[in-house]
Amino acid sequence: MLTEHFVAAPHWEWYILAYFVAAGLSGGTYVIGTMLRLWGDARDLPASRLAFFISWPLLLVCPILLTLDLGQPTRFWHMLIDSRTAGLAFKSWSPMSVGAWALLIYGIFSTVMFVVALGETRSTPALLSRVSKVAGTLAGRVVMVVGALFALFVSAYTGVLLAVSNQPVWSDTWTLGGLFLASGLSGASALVLLMSRRRPEAAETDEKLLEADRYFIILELVLIALFFVTLGGVLSRVLSGGWLVLWLVVLAGTVVPLLVHWRPAWRQRISRNLGPILVLLGVLALRAVVIFSPQS
Amino acid sequence: MATPVGFFTDTTLCIGCKACEVACKEWNQLPDNPIQFRDSYDNTGQLDQRNFRHVRFVEQATSNPDKPIAWSMMSDVCKHCANASCLEVCPTDAIIRTEFDTVYIQQDVCNGCRDCIAACPYGVIGFDSQSGTAKKCTFCYDRLQNNKMPACAQACPTQSIKFGNLADLRKMAADRVQALQAQGVTQARIYGDTEYGGLHAFFLLTDKPEAYALPNAESAVLPGRNDVPGYLAVAVTSVLAAIGGLVAFRRRGERA
């Protein structure tokens, strides 16, 4: 049974859209970097390093965007510390509260893996090289995997945050967290692919990344279908007017890469960069239509 | 803790004079509204950071050609829910329950994240760009602390807005409904006895809640209902994505 809504919009707009994209891609690239180290071989290390190199700067942007979106930016720390008692402000049932903490903790892991990746490159100080060697041990791998769990959360929780509201569309579906995660992972694969064009040593992993991206895209398409089904009577709010254009971009960012794979002849005709660029545009369009359409 | 207090708003007594709006604006020093021409006598529009009270003019078509429109007036306000959606999601604990059992936004704690606005099912809370914080009816917290009744209830000339001990008000409301029904107003009903655990600002209505832009009992749900299903979807997606990653990234020597 769908809820009838009589609500006001929170006016979460461009900063939040940029944050959702940055968090999705940062978390996604960290997870891909981790999976390449866990299940790949030595030839995949450059691509893994590249993933961690991308993940960290994207993460740095996140708290800046969130702070700028606040009505009182100087009170950003109220998300973490109770300003009255100076104790910790943590509410497990509030996705915004959990997300603020997850972002902080994920930031530590992302920074560590950035340093590890940096230490693996040539001409780095001895200290960094030593850190990288520790990262190769079992303990180092455990740390990396725990970080990946936080990365998954950061990539996904934004969808749950929207759902835990009383806004039309957002609160009418349980799919948004999963959908943002699948889309974030797909976008992260595309971003690593694009960046590997400038790093030939990382291009060894291109085929694997393309394959992974296809799986993530299929997952995303299933979740988009579930998203539409769960919306029922409010579906028209996300499909009406100009929003259809954004859905076409989402469609291009999901279906075109799959078609290119299934029709190898197409690969010869179009640029190698077109697929990843379409995927990234789809990541942006998906979040834009989900964020803006219920508030319009 | 002080006795829980409440507002009982009897819409059958409201004449749409807006004295409550004026008194509220004056006491709380709220800014005036931008001039807008609306297709109604309701020139306030909605509850928000400027309007903690809003006299809603519910216009309904009738079958009587001499009186094609019937009005029901309702002085709307924050419901101060027992299970408040805004309080549930607020990440900074800026929204608290007071000793009077009302819901209050601490202006020096709120950082303007606006999660409470997304959560409030009644569209009560507004964002004040001047202060950078969320604002709504305070239940005249400062007046309550000084043993004064809220400004709106004091100003209401028809006693459509009644203020008092919550238990007494509920008894008064039940008696009033019974009296109206005995007089033939069979549609008379109370809104707010059960919704969100019981509202501290509840209403006597003569039509279904949706006619007054109030969610009915089925739609009056808390944001937290999507917490577990949302995270479950994330967990399942994570597992499927990890399987996808395993298949795609596994060592080349182990490929079939």
Phi, psi of A186 (to 5 degrees): -65, -45
Yes or no, beta carbons of B224 and A159 under 8 Å apart: no
Quick check: A223 contacting B, CB < 8 Å? Answer: yes
Residue A6 located in a structural domain: no
pLDDT at B256: 41
**What percentage of chain B carries pLDDT values higher than 70?**
97
pLDDT tens digits, B84-116: 999 999 999 999 999 999 999 999 999 999 999
**What percentage of chain A carries pLDDT values higher than 90?**
79
Residues of A with CB below 8 A from B108's CB? 83
Nearest to B234 among A8, A79, A160 (CB): A160
What confidence tier does A2 reach under pLDDT thresholds 50, 70, 90?
Answer: low
pLDDT at B255: 47
Closest of B223, B137, B204 to residue A5, by C-alpha: B223
Residue A4 located in a structural domain: no
Residue A3 located in a structural domain: no
Q: Looking at the complex, report in whole angstroms how far the Cα of residue B211 sits from the nearest Cα belonging to chain A.
A: 11
Q: How many domains does chain A have?
A: 1
Domain membership of residue A272 as a residue range: 14-295
Yes or no, beta carbons of B115 and A94 under 8 Å apart: yes
What confidence tier does A22 reach under pLDDT thresholds 50, 70, 90?
Answer: very high
Distance CA A56, CA A162 (A): 25
Q: Scanning every residue of chain B, which has its alpha carbon at the shortest distance from the alpha carbon of A27?
A: B238
Residue A282 located in a structural domain: yes
pLDDT at B63: 85
pLDDT at A27: 98
Average pLDDT on A142-146 reads 95
Distance CA B251, CA B256 (A): 11
DSSP state letters, B238-253:
HHHHHHHHHHHHS-GG
pLDDT tens digits, A41-91: 999 999 999 999 999 999 999 999 999 999 999 999 999 999 999 999 999
Yes or no, beta carbons of A171 and B223 under 8 Å apart: yes
Residue A66 located in a structural domain: yes
Residues of A with CB below 8 A from B92's CB? 75, 78-79, 82-83, 89
Where is average pLDDT lowest: A58-72, A218-232, B15-29, B63-77?
A: B63-77
Yes or no, beta carbons of A8 and B226 under 8 Å apart: no
Residues of B with CB below 8 A from A261's CB? none
Nearest to B111 among A1, A76, A209 (CB): A76
Nearest to A215 among B129, B224, B247 (CB): B247
Average pLDDT on B145-160 reads 97
Residue A22 located in a structural domain: yes
Yes or no, beta carbons of B92 and A78 under 8 Å apart: yes
Average pLDDT on B246-255 reads 75
CB B52 within 8 A of CB B136: yes
Residue A74 located in a structural domain: yes
Q: Cα A153 vs. chain centroid, distance in angstroms?
A: 9
ipTM: 0.94
CB B40 within 8 A of CB B202: no
CATH code assigned at A243: 1.20.1630.10
Quick check: A15 contacting B, CB < 8 Å? Answer: no
Yes or no, beta carbons of A164 and B119 under 8 Å apart: yes
Residues of B with CB below 8 A from A209's CB? 248
| Number of alpha carbons in the 13 Å side-chain half-sphere of residue B206 | 20
Given CA atoms B120, B126, B129, B130 in this order, what sign does their dihedral have?
A: negative
Average pLDDT on B175-195 reads 95
Yes or no, beta carbons of B234 and A156 under 8 Å apart: yes
What confidence tier does A294 reach under pLDDT thresholds 50, 70, 90?
Answer: very high
What confidence tier does B251 reach under pLDDT thresholds 50, 70, 90?
Answer: low
pLDDT at A129: 73
Average pLDDT on B237-242 reads 98
Residue A7 located in a structural domain: no
pLDDT tens digits, B19-60: 999 999 999 999 998 888 887 788 899 999 999 999 999 888
Q: Looking at the complex, report in whole angstroms how far the Cα of residue A242 sits from the nearest Cα belonging to chain B.
A: 23
Q: Looking at the complex, report in whole angstroms how far the Cα of residue B138 sits from the nearest Cα belonging to chain A.
A: 18
pLDDT tens digits, A160-203: 999 999 999 999 999 999 999 999 999 999 999 999 988 888 88
SS3 category, B96: strand
Average pLDDT on A8-22 reads 97
Q: Which pair of tokens denotes residue A158?
A: 């934004």
Yes or no, beta carbons of B229 and A156 under 8 Å apart: no
pLDDT at B254: 52
